[in-house]
Structures are given as structure tokens and as C-alpha cells.
Amino acid sequence: MHLGLIGGIGVAATVVYYQRLTAAVGGPFDLTIEHADVQALIVNNLADRREEQAEIYARHIDRLAKAGCDAVAITSLGGHFCFEETVKRSALPLISAVAPLDDFFVSEGIRTVGLLGTRVVMNTRLYGQLTQTKAVALDGRIDEIGQSYQDMAVAGTCTPEQRKLFLDAGQDMVDHLGADAVVLAGTDLNLAFDDQATNYRVIDALDVHIALLADLITGRATL
């Protein structure tokens, strides 16, 4: 399968998708990346302009289709806020990063997850798409955490202060909200959590998506 990625939202997220996908596939494969505008995504996400962002995605997908891609993935969980609207416009199958998560949590025996990511991801509890798993977030700190996440994603780097904020937020959800694990529901959160020791289980939603994409690329799974 020739995979298309909508990247650039942000750059660090695109890089980690590429790195982990090539490691998971373990050999040559067909990949094309379209570079989207992270600032346009932020504006549309915060204003819940789903149709507008879906139109932008559709233009990128059209170019990916012309490049010979068979399917497309969006390299941002925050960017999935208009997933259904994009599906309606898409010239290619769109492979969700959200859909595989519920089954994964169940398979791991996880009943409650704490969410870190964009404001919308946390406020909507991952777009309300977890039907078998309870999702929690630090409601009183969503604006603070969401802004820090946005700043980190745009900069492509994580400051020590931002890292401490995210690590401490994860601990708070485990200690006070009953989370069995903390889910990095924002692709750029690897900047904060990679190589960090925690007293709680951390699940990177990116890895679940990568595993699915690698299976599709290698033919171990089909659309």
C-alpha cells in the first residue's frame, strides 16, 4: 500500500510519524507526505470550524491521490476533530488514529485513561469515541495544558517547564481521577515524554496508529 500522510501539523509530529513508521515496517515502502498549515489548523480547531478544515484536508488528499497514494492518515490527533467531515470529501480512504484506541485499551485491561492533548481532545474526551473505556481529564486545567501543548507543537521543542507540567498532570490524573494509564493523545507529546521515567503507565496513541498503518502497508491487515 502506498500511504499518504498529511503532515506539518506540527513538524515534530510528522518527523516522529516517519521515524516510527519506518522502524515498524522494517523495509522499503511507498510513502508521500503533504505539508499542511499548523496555524490554520489551530484557528479552525479552536473555533470548531470543521467544514473549513475538512476542505483544506481534501485539497491535500487530492494531491496525495494524484501522487498515487492508496490511503491517507492525519499526523495529528487534534487534527481529527473534523474527521467525519473530511471522510465525506476525501478522494482516498482515511485511516483514523482514534478508532483503534478503544479496542487497544480493552485488550490491555485498561478501564480508565487520563488524557493529555489539545483543548478539544481533552474537553470532548477524545471526541466521545471511547465507548468501552472511561476517559478523564483535568477539567480545571484544560486551558493551561492545552495552551502549553499548542505552544510546544508549534515550536517543535519542549521546555523543561512544559515537560514538568505534562508529567505532573499525568500523575495527578492517576492519583486523583483513577486513571489506570495516561494517554498521550497529542502526537507532539513525545517531545515531553520520550526517555522520561514516570510512576504511571504511559500509552502513546501514536504507537497504536503506527502499528495499524504498518500492518496495512505490509499487507498484514487490509482496509
Q: What is the pTM of this model?
A: 0.92
Q: What are the residues facing 117 on neighbouring strands?
A: 185
| Fold classification of 3-97+207-218 (topology level) | Rossmann fold (3.40.50)
- Cα 123 from chain centre: 15
Supply the pLDDT for residue 176.
98
Question: In the chain, which residues fall in CATH 3.40.50.1860?
Answer: 3-97+207-218, 100-205
What whole-number distance in Å separates Cα of residue 73 and Cα of residue 6?
6
Overall average pLDDT of the 204-220 stretch: 96
**CATH for 100-205, options being 3.30.2030.30, 1.20.210.10, 3.40.640.10, 3.40.50.1860:** 3.40.50.1860
Q: What is the pLDDT of residues 25-68, one digit of tens each?
A: 999 999 999 999 999 999 999 999 999 999 999 999 999 999 99
Check pLDDT > 90 for residue 223: no
Closest CA to 156 of 7, 12, 8: 12
- Cα 213 from chain centre: 13
Check pLDDT > 90 for residue 146: yes
